[in-house]
Amino acid sequence: MLLPEQMTKVLIIGSKDHLEETVNILYGLHTVHLVDFPPDVEGFTLGSPLSAASEASGKLLKLRAVEKDLEIKEPKTPEPIPAERVKNEIDRAIASFETEISDVVGSKTKIQQRLGELEQKKRDLQPFTALPLDLEMYRDYKSITVFVGSVRSSPEGVLRESLDQFELFADDEERFVALFVPRADAEEAQRILVQHGFSEINLPPGVGRPEKTLEEVDGEEAILRKGFEEVQGKLEKLRDRHSAFVLASEEELSITVEKAETPLRTGATTHSFVIDAWVPSKGLEVLKNEISTKMGEGVYIELLEVKDRKDTDEGEEANVEEIPTKASNPRPSNLFEYLVELISTPRYNEIDPASVISIFFPIFFGLMVGDVGYGIPFIILGYLGLKKCTSNEWRTIATALFFGGIFTVIFGVFLFGEALGMHFAPSAYGEITWSSLLGIELPHSIDLGVFSIPIGVFSKLHDVKILLYISIWIGIVHLFVGFALGFANVAMRRGLKHALFEKFGWILILAGGVFLLVLMIDVLILLKPMAMTDLRLLAGTGLLVAGMAICLKGEGARVMLELPGLMSNVISYTRLTAIGMSKAGLALAFNSISIEMIAPGGGIMIALAILVFIVGHLMIFILAIISAGLHGIRLQYVEFFMKFFEGGGLKFNPLKISRKYTTEV
């Protein structure tokens, strides 16, 4: 459960005419992690794609064109189509798509093109409507040159000074001008125009008033737009009719191509193929059975090695990385695998921490929030998230909320006995409680015969000292587990001796630190006198020195530098209390503002009090998710993982087909 699944390396060898069938079987099993065949093995070449590949690729190309023409988007509720039907109908369908759709798409493109031309024509004509001239009056002169275009400022003054004869037309804003000058003066006129920022505008064809031409253009455009809508409607109908099938056939063809290209990752000789793969040892029998019943003598499986967890040699660590890691966590701790993935995939020969953090993380989360009023919404949100979400990220957040919520409720009821920042039972400190609010006396504990189930042992704000103390102990336990896992890792990989030097020293140091911590609390906080013969002092110092000696031998002087780090690791766990406190403080503030200060005003003030209450607690609720979630996971990542986790493994990635738009019978 803690270790990834044991893997076996196999070599699957057979004659080439069995290759296609073999690939199909491997895809069906979902347990075969293919290893790319090295390209430089003597006597072997890489396999070539199956014959189906090129044909399917061609069809796929056509289908994707259709998909683009029809502008198919992801349908909301894909209705899967049986793969068999897709296979049977695909050729006919592609042929009919080509005739049916290409006509419609062709006319659509034509209309779009013509519409673009008309737009341009309208833009060209627009400025001419401002001048009182017909279109034919701008051209076909023998002795006159015409300049038409836009200017930045009116050239009229300068023209008057330099030219004897000219005729200038301008629109109201004097930005668009038409200048008529004798041919002899053309050069001079152009010079003046350029000085005024002239840029020429092409003369549109046509005769008569430009408005009339514009009207004609508008008329044609309206007709075209109507036609465009019709075509668009046709396309939409086609899309509605065909999109499910197009998507299904695209998926089916992609699968065909993927399967047909699998031989590229295998080795080949003239007549045979060689597949190199990792299989979980559990799934090996199934693979063998499947191959021997379906393929008979044609394909042979050679068992290369059952991989143990030892590092063969320090220099060969690169080999270990090639073994894929298949996590083997039972539900529900497999939901926490992604949290480990975020840091790194565990290696094949190390403990997968997912199941361990699936215990500690919810406990930490629950301790930090510890309030029934927030715990129940956490559970509901988490449950809904697990039901609805599909992405890894959201599922992980939902998991954290759901299990964290469960512990939040447990601690909220039994340890802290509070909901929404108010204790159930009457308080000795005179703050608002559910008892004082509802006017009924809620008990401090429920007696069941000999057992008494407490409801609220501590108050987050008033029992700070003991809660800090508890949180440090939780941290020590957590760190011990971390070191123990580290010890197990090293022992498994490199033997007990290495484990003793690398990890056991640290366990002794931590144990020594624990004795000294208990002593320090007595002396510094409870102010008891210290005796030099105190057993805790002697044991603590002894363990510390012994541990350091072992570590010094194993790891060198680096240990001295890491020692303060271990101390800060332990203190780091006080955040379990600190965050709980800060939330309780905020809740207390909002409760007393709304219930004690605003609500007694009566009338409208009660509504205001309820508003403050809701907004305040909503804020705390969101803060609780962020702070408790982040700090809860941080304690795992930083304090815990650093003690044993290396990561950098290769994720198990078996050959398999995932279908969305098609179903396989």
Partner 1 sequence: MALEVGLIAVGAGIAVGLAGLGAGIAEGPVGAAAVGAMAENQKLFGKGLMLMVIPETIVIFGLVMAILLWLKMV
Least distance in Å: CB of 294 to partner 1? 39
Q: Please identify, among the stretches 161-169, 253-261, 575-583, 651-659, the one whose residues bind partner 1 according to the rule CB under 8 A.
A: 575-583
Least distance in Å: CB of 465 to partner 1? 6
Least distance in Å: CB of 572 to partner 1? 5
Site membership for partner 1, residue 563 (CB under 8 A): no
Which of 237, 638, 660, 664 touches partner 1 (CB under 8 A)?
638
Site membership for partner 1, residue 575 (CB under 8 A): yes
Cβ-based nearer residue to partner 1, 95 or 571: 571
Site membership for partner 1, residue 523 (CB under 8 A): no
Residues 128, 178: Cα–Cα separation, whole Å: 9
Cβ burial, residue 638 (10 Å; 0-12/13-18/19+): exposed
Locate 161 and state its tokens: 């000074």
Which of 293, 390, 568, 658 touches partner 1 (CB under 8 A)?
568
Binding mask 437-476 for partner 1 (x = CB under 8 A): ---------------------------xx--x--------
Site membership for partner 1, residue 578 (CB under 8 A): yes
199-200 and 144-150 beta bridge pairing: antiparallel
Cβ-based nearer residue to partner 1, 222 or 567: 567
Least distance in Å: CB of 93 to partner 1? 39
Site membership for partner 1, residue 637 (CB under 8 A): yes
Residues 651, 626: Cα–Cα separation, whole Å: 29
Cβ burial, residue 203 (10 Å; 0-12/13-18/19+): middle
Cβ-based nearer residue to partner 1, 112 or 344: 344
Locate 376 and state its tokens: 């129940």
Cβ-based nearer residue to partner 1, 384 or 571: 571
Cβ-based nearer residue to partner 1, 41 or 466: 466
| SS3 category, 328 | coil
Cβ-based nearer residue to partner 1, 108 or 575: 575
Which of 133, 566, 581, 610 touches partner 1 (CB under 8 A)?
581
Q: Please identify, among the stretches 57-65, 112-120, 148-156, 633-641, the one whose residues bind partner 1 according to the rule CB under 8 A.
A: 633-641
Least distance in Å: CB of 642 to partner 1? 8
Yes or no: say if 435 and 426 are a contact pair by the CB < 8 Å rule: yes
Cβ-based nearer residue to partner 1, 16 or 462: 462
Mutual orientation of helices 575-591 and 354-369 as an angle, nearest 10°?
A: 40
* Residues 135-174 interacting with partner 1 (rule: CB under 8 A): none
Yes or no: say if 419 and 372 are a contact pair by the CB < 8 Å rule: yes
Q: Please identify, among the stretches 66-74, 254-262, 413-421, 634-642, the one whose residues bind partner 1 according to the rule CB under 8 A.
A: 634-642
Residue 509: CB partners within 8 Å, gap ≥ 6?
543, 544, 547, 548, 551, 563, 566
Which helix or strand (DSSP H or E) is residue 274 part of? Answer: strand 272-280
**DSSP structure string for 429-476:** T----HHHHHTS---SEEEETTEEEES----TTT-HHHHHHHHHHHHH
* Residues 386-405 interacting with partner 1 (rule: CB under 8 A): none
Site membership for partner 1, residue 571 (CB under 8 A): yes
Least distance in Å: CB of 432 to partner 1? 19
Least distance in Å: CB of 650 to partner 1? 13
**DSSP structure string for 500-558:** IIIIIHHHHHHHHHHHHHHHHIIIIIS-----TT-HHHHHHHHHHHHHHHHHHHHH-TH
- Nearest-Å Rg of the Cα atoms of the chain is 40
Instruction: Return the bridge partners of 274, or none.
Output: 13, 267
Least distance in Å: CB of 359 to partner 1? 20
Binding mask 328-367 for partner 1 (x = CB under 8 A): --------------xxx-----------------------
Least distance in Å: CB of 275 to partner 1? 29
The CB-based long-range contact list for 102-109 (8 Å cut-off, 24+ gap) reads 104/231, 104/234, 104/235, 104/238, 105/69, 105/235, 107/227, 107/231, 108/228, 108/231, 108/232, 108/235
Which of 190, 272, 574, 663 touches partner 1 (CB under 8 A)?
574
Total site size for partner 1, rule CB under 8 A: 18
Least distance in Å: CB of 4 to partner 1? 18
Least distance in Å: CB of 339 to partner 1? 9
Buried b (16+ CB within 10 A) or exposed e, 611-632: ebbeebbeebbeebbebbbebb
Instruction: Return the bridge partners of 306, or none.
Output: 8
Cβ-based nearer residue to partner 1, 320 or 472: 472
Least distance in Å: CB of 342 to partner 1? 4
Cβ-based nearer residue to partner 1, 516 or 581: 581
Task: Show the CA angle centred on residue 338, arms to residues 337 and 343, nearest 5°.
Answer: 105
For 509, phi and psi rounded to 5 degrees? Answer: -60, -45
Least distance in Å: CB of 468 to partner 1? 7
Buried b (16+ CB within 10 A) or exposed e, 537-565: bebbeebbebbbebbeebeeeebeeebee
Site membership for partner 1, residue 131 (CB under 8 A): no
Cβ-based nearer residue to partner 1, 195 or 344: 344
Q: Give the residue from 367, 405, 407, 358 showing the smallest Cα distance to 385.
A: 405
Q: Interface with partner 1 by CB under 8 A: which residues?
A: 342-344, 464-465, 468, 525, 568, 571-572, 574-575, 578, 581, 634, 637-638, 641
